[in-house]
Structure 1
Amino acid sequence: MRRRTLLAAAGATLAAPSLARAQAWPAQPVRLVIGFAPGGPTDVYGRLFADRLGRALGQPVVIENKAGAAGIIGSTGVARAKPDGYTLVFGTGSTQALYPSMTDKPDYDVLKDFTYIAHVGGGPAAFMGNLAQPDSLKGLLDAARAKPGTLSYGSPGAGTLLHLTTERLKAAVGGVDMTHVPYRGSGPAMTDLLAGQIALVATTLGVALPFHASGKARLLAVATAQRTALAPDVPTVSETLGGVPFEAVLWHCLAGPAGLPPEVVARLAAAVRETMNDPALLKTLAEQGIVPVSDSTPDSTVAFVRGEVERWAPIVKAAGVRME
C-alpha cells in the first residue's frame, strides 16, 4: 500500500509542471504581429480580433505592425520567434498562400514553419476609383485601354492578394496597361487615391465603405458573387465582366511559430472559438463587410492553407509576379 502511495505521489509530482504550464499560460501579454501598416483591412480586422481574443485569454493581445514586403517581414519574424505562444501572426492569403509561388528561395515554409490555430475569414476585395476618374469600373478600364500606361493603381504591396486580384482583373478584360504602385498597406494607398495620385485602389469592402458613404472616393465594384446589402448600388466585378465569375476574399488566420506546445494550441483554439462566436464582434464584423469563420480548428486551418497555396499557384504564375 505504501509503495502504491509513493508511486502515485511521484507521478503527480512529474505531471504537475506540465499541468501548471497549461494553467499558467498566458502569464503575460501576447504579441500579435500584423505585416501591414495601420489603417488597412488586415490591421482593422486584426485589432477587432485582438481586443476580443485578449478578453478570452485573460491577458492583453498587443498589436505590432511590421509592414513591408507584402507582409513577409512580419511573418518571417514570427516563424523565427520562440515557440512559447507569446508571439503570433495575423496571417493573410498573401503571406501564407501566395508567397511560396513568388520566389524560389522563400524565407519560410508556410506549412512547416508555423503552427496554425484558426482560419477566421476576411473581407471581399473591392475596387475604388478617385473622383476624377470615370464613375464605373468598366469606364475606368476603358480609359486605361485608350491611353496605355497613363493610369496607375495601388495595392497594399507587390505580391499581395489584392495586387494579384487586380492583375486577374486586367487579364480578364483582355489586358490593360496600368502601372502598379505598391504601398506598405491599404491605408497609404487610400491616402494617395484621395489625393488623386493614383486612379484605382484594390482594397476590401470594409475599408472602402466609409469613403464610399462620405463621397470622398467611388466604390466601383466588389468581388462577390452577388451585390452586397451594405452597398446595393455597387455592381459586382462579375457584372462588369459580363457575367464571368470573379470572387476574391482577403482571408486571415492566426498562427504561431512551429513547435507551439499542445496545451498552448488548445488554449488558443478555445479562445478563438469564444472570440469568433461573440455576438457583439460578429455584429461589428458584419457592419464592416467582413465574413467570419467561426468553426475552424487547427487541423482544418492547415488543410485550408494547403488548398489555398495550390489554388493560387497557377494564378501567380500566369500573372508573372515574382519576389526576389
Structure 2
Amino acid sequence: MAALQTVLQSNANIARLPSGIVALFVGATSGIGQSTLQHVPAPHIYSVAHPQTVAAHETHLASLSKSNPTATFTLITADVSLVSEIDKIVAAITQKETKLDILVWSDTREGLEPSMSTRYYSPLRAVQQLLPLLNAAPIPRVISVLAGGHEAQISKAELDLRDSANWSYWNAAVHAATMCTLSLERLAHGNPGLSVVHWHPGAVATPGLAKWDKYSLTPPNQRSQDEAGVRGVFLATSDQYAVQSGPVLVPGGLGGVNKSGGGIFLVDADGESIDNEGVLAGFRERGVDEVVWSHTEKVWAECAARAGRPKDEL
C-alpha cells in the first residue's frame, strides 16, 4: 500500500519532470478529476467542460491560475457524452501542441444514469485519436478512472448493453470497465512506450457519490476527494506506473506494481496492482478483445455517419 505520506513525497519530486509538460483532463469539472486537476503542477493544462458546466469551471480554473501563476489553463467546451464531439477536443489540442504527456479521463456522470459513451466510447476514441501526440512525448501516460481490476464476463452478443433487462448500475460499470481494459490493453500493445493506468479509486466523498444518500446506499469509509486527487497525481507521474523509467523515481520502501498480461496497470484505491488475469487471460485467448475493438470501431463509424462526417473525420 502506498501511504499518503509516501504519495506526497513522490509528488514533491514532480518538478523533475521534463519542462513543458502538457496535460489533458476530461471529467475534471467535479469529483476526483477536479481534485486531481488542482494538484497537478503541469505548466500547460487543457480541461474539458460540458456547456452546462463551463461557467463554474471557468471560475475554478481562474482560482487555480492564482494559486499556480506559472501554469496555463485552456478550457475546451464539448459534450463528451457524444462521441462525435471528441474531434473538438482533439482538434483544439493538435492545432496548438506537438505532444501530449498526460491524459486523465474520469467519469463526470458519477450518478444514477451512467453512460457507455462517457465511460467507454468517448474516452477510448480520445486516446486513439491522440496517440500521435502521446507517442511524441518522452514519457506519455493515460489514466482511466473507472473500475480497473474488476473486469467480469460480458456478453459478446450485447456489447452496447442496450437491453434494459441486463442493466443495473453495477453491471453497467463493470461492463464498461471490462471493455475499457481490453481496449486499453490493445492500444498499449501497439504503442509500447505508452504507460496506461486503469484505476479503481474506491469510495470517494464526491458530490456524485452524495446522490446515493437518499437511497441509503452511500458506502462507508470514504476517502476524501482531496486525497483521491493527490493519489491521482501520483498515478500520473510516478515511475511506479511507467513502462519506462522517468525522472520521478519510486519512493523507497514501495514494492513494484505489476502490469496485466495485456501490458497495462490495473490498480486499486491504494495504488496497488490488482490481479484479474483469471478473467482477462481467458478473454485474450478467446479473442474477445478483438471482438470488443471491432464493435467499438463500428460504433464510432455509426456516430460519424449520424454526425454527417466520414469515418476518418470523426
Q: Please give the TM-score of this superposition, normalised by the length of structure 2.
A: 0.32
Higher strand share goes to which structure? 1
Higher relative contact order (CA 8 A, sep 6+): 1
Structure whose CA Rg is larger: 1
